[in-house]
Structure formats: C-alpha cells, structure tokens
Amino acid sequence: MALQKNVNIKNRKARFEYEILDTYVAGIVLAGTEIKAIREGKASIAESFCEFQNNELFAINMTVQEYSHATSFNHNPQSERKLLLNRNELKKLEKEVKNTGLTIIPLKLFTNDRGLAKLQIALCKGKKEYDKREAIKKRETKRDLSRIKKAFNN
C-alpha cells in the first residue's frame, strides 16, 4: 500500500454523458483519513455530482474508501464533501445552475505538487441520445482511420 506520488482519478463517463461548458478547479475539505485514502488511490467520482446547500458547494456521492491503517476514528465513505472556490465563482455557478438548469459534475480528482487534493469540476449540459450516438460514430471512425494508417505504414 505505498502512497502514489500523483493521484489522478477520472470520471470517464462524464464526457460521454454531458457536454462540458466550463471547468473549474476546487479544493476539498477532507478529514485526515480521507486524504490518506485518496493518496492511496482509493476514491471514486464515477457517480458523483455537485450541489449547492446554503450558498456552499458540496460534492455528493463521491466515494473515498476507508483508510486501511486507521483506528475506530475512520471517516464515512459516502459523506458529502465541501468544495472550496472563490465567492465570485460560487455566485456565477449558482446563478447558472438555477437559471439555465445546468449541472455541475466532477471530472478529475488529483493531488497537486504540494500534496493537496483538488477536484476539477465542470459546468455541464446533459447530452441527448442522438448526441451520444454521434460521439460513438466519431470515435469509431477515428479508430478505423488509425488502423488504416497503421496498416499502410507497415
């Protein structure tokens, strides 16, 4: 269970399910055992989203597994975690979410060079079914072109 130098946990479904309009990097309020578990790479943001409560932004459904070397004072894996942003950014995001019905989705959980956990969040609009089919078609044509180029070069 060695600590990883750079933790980089991605939400792979987010770019397929949502159209990303704007991104932000937010700090996270964590307990001691939570940051240790994140540094071990035991976190997931696949099903998570962000929500405003009393003019503060919280990450909901973000899973941080319990730290293996902790005592009985371990953290709750599914608890809400407060995100730290500038007041202007919070006001802008809250206005966009309330007025236009956009959602805030975590894209990436990482540690910076100082070892602090950061969460890259995005202001997103949900894709329709035909947009998803278009993304699949583009991905398949790109894959086919790369196969043809590889075969041609050999």
pTM: predicted TM-score of the whole model, two decimal places: 0.77
The confidence band for 122, taking pLDDT boundaries of 50, 70 and 90, is: very high
d(CA 92, CA 95): 5
What are the pLDDT digits (tens) for 26-73?
999 988 888 888 888 888 888 888 999 998 999 898 888 877 776 667
| DSSP state, residue 55 | T
Name the region of 33 (left: φ>0; alpha: ψ -120 to 50; beta: rest): alpha
Distance CA 151, CA 34 (A): 48
Topology of the domain covering 8-127: Small Protein B; Chain: A; (2.40.280)
Contacts of 100 (CB under 8 A, 6+ apart): none
